[in-house]
Amino acid sequence: MKEEVNNLWILTEERLKIDVLKKILNIYIRDKKLSDTDIANIIIKPLIEKNIFKNQYKIENFKIPYIENIYSRIVSGSTSFVDHLLFVQKDKPKDYSLKTKNFKYFVEDTKTDTKESRNTAFGQRATKTIIANYFNKSPFKLIITSSIFKYDQLPESAIFDARCLMTTGVEIFMPNTIIENKPFKDYSELINKKNSMRKPPSSNVPFRIKEVSTGLEISKKIIKGKSLSDPSVGQILNVCFALRKLNYTKKIKITSHGLNQKRFDKMQDNKLLLGCKLLKLDIDGITLSNRIVFPELYWHYPNYLNEEKHATILLHHLINYNQKDLEVIFDHHAGCARNYIKNINDKNYSVNKTPTGKTPDLIIRNKKNKTLYLVEGKTSYNLEKGIEEIKGFPDFYKKHLVKDCGYKNYKMESWITLTGDSKNKAEFQNILFTLKNDNSLKINKNLNKEFKILFNSSS
């Protein structure tokens, strides 16, 4: 029976990066056992027709048997959402609850470029795998997009977290490394391995699994300051999910966690509670609310009025597609992962978490006219707030771009992109463009030719 020709759809909350896209496509090609493929020179084209953005990106320059088109769209998660979803079908996906066979993969991508991320990259993803599994049993792929560590250089605790993920069905990929899929054979092996690992200093709560008459007690502190520690919550839920996958059916209780009832009840977006309900876990001294409502939908298409990142992501893709004088050297789209700044010598510079001045959403370099464009994305409703915030750009520019990154001969310009409609009006000239609710683009008539050509190239 001849295979049907279809389209691939990659749905994402963030900007889809070429390196991640290639990894996703290579996984699909491998799993389908396809030959005569070519994705070496793929590019992402924003679809704009007659000044209307189609809220869709088309991937060009690929060859994959039985795949006619590859599209990407920005979506929003209804709960703890993965980075990407892969569908195989002709038309735009509308399977918001992941019930159809057209849905193929959950894909999460992350980095392990610091000691902290090295220790938590695997365990911290577990909350997403548990909720994903609730909606659909399709494969979960964890892609480490960049790492200064090889898998066998990771600490024992990180490899333990990775094996727990493997036990729950997650396939892990790292750069230039073939990772052996080595899930735990049974829950006794998992428990013994965890309890044999090096203990922390006596001042810390040891992460240990104790067998008692009613089941298991797992000790781990899961708070940091006044909030839940996402890495700690992920690590303990990762272990519990693996135990359940290994058919451990008795009670599991989390102990020595540092929580009290009042604090627990006040927590917003409580992924720990969701995980406990799905895995049937108890928390020592805490009454778990029965009023929690599991979301019916895993994802949905967003409204531009509420999310500022859509315009900056569109601008970023336009620049990458045009590939002429403009180049994005830093991006931090609202709610998305922060990247490095490319310095004057094209080396990566890491901005600390408390930088001087206001961190832009985009920094665009024009080598030809020696200009750095610092861009802030805002909803139209928050334009006044954006105007006030970009007053911090000069301090950021002087400290991090001139002094730290070597852009001494570059001038700076401050710009804003907008999403959504608003009746608010402000006398502010440096609005690059507005992505309106009807998907039309209101482009600044006074833009220089380097920016004007961006919108023409995708029409």
pLDDT value of residue 114: 47
Average pLDDT on 282-291 reads 87
73 in Cβ contact with 109 (< 8 Å): no
Local structure of 128: helix, strand or coil = helix
Instruction: pLDDT band for 202, please (50, 70, 90 cuts).
Output: confident
At 443-454, the pLDDT tens digits run 998 888 889 888
pLDDT value of residue 142: 87
Average pLDDT on 20-40 reads 96
Would you list the DSSP string of 55-113? EEEEEES-B-TTEEEEEEEE-EESSS--SEEEEESSSPP--TT--STTEEEEEEEEEE-
Angle, alpha carbons 295-338-347 (nearest 5°):
155
Residue 220 tokens read as 């781990």
Q: Which residue has the higher pLDDT, 73 or 290?
A: 73
Strand partners, 306: none
Alpha helices in 89-229 (DSSP H): 115-120, 126-135, 156-167, 187-196
pLDDT value of residue 24: 96
Whole-number Å distance between alpha carbons of 47 and 71: 10
The count of C-alpha atoms lying within 13 angstroms of the C-alpha of 168, restricted to the half-sphere facing its C-beta, is 32
Whole-number Å distance between alpha carbons of 316 and 310: 10
At 114-158, the pLDDT tens digits run 455 556 678 888 889 999 999 999 989 988 776 667 777 788 888
The count of C-alpha atoms lying within 13 angstroms of the C-alpha of 128, restricted to the half-sphere facing its C-beta, is 24
pLDDT value of residue 87: 97
Phi-psi region of 49 (alpha: psi -120 to 50; beta: other; left: phi over 0): beta
Whole-number Å distance between alpha carbons of 109 and 83: 7
Average pLDDT, the chain: 90
Residue 330 tokens read as 């830093």
Instruction: pLDDT band for 368, please (50, 70, 90 cuts).
Output: very high
pLDDT value of residue 295: 84
Strand partners, 140: 106, 170
Instruction: pLDDT band for 270, please (50, 70, 90 cuts).
Output: confident
Whole-number Å distance between alpha carbons of 357 and 136: 44
Above pLDDT 70, what percent of the chain?
94
pLDDT value of residue 351: 82
Residue 15 tokens read as 């900007």
Helix axes 449-457, 309-322, angle to 10 degrees: 90
pLDDT value of residue 158: 87
pLDDT value of residue 113: 57
Phi-psi region of 280 (alpha: psi -120 to 50; beta: other; left: phi over 0): left
Above pLDDT 90, what percent of the chain?
64
Instruction: pLDDT band for 42, please (50, 70, 90 cuts).
Output: very high
Whole-number Å distance between alpha carbons of 41 and 291: 51
CB-based contacts of 374, cutoff 8 Å, min separation 6: 360, 362, 363, 390, 393, 396, 397, 412, 413, 414, 415
Whole-number Å distance between alpha carbons of 133 and 235: 17
Min mean pLDDT across 88-102, 173-187, 264-278, 300-314 is at 264-278
pLDDT value of residue 339: 73
Q: Which of 105, 74, 75, 76 is nearest to 88 (CA)?
A: 105
* pLDDT over 90 at 293, yes or no: no
Min mean pLDDT across 34-48, 74-88, 385-399, 421-435 is at 421-435
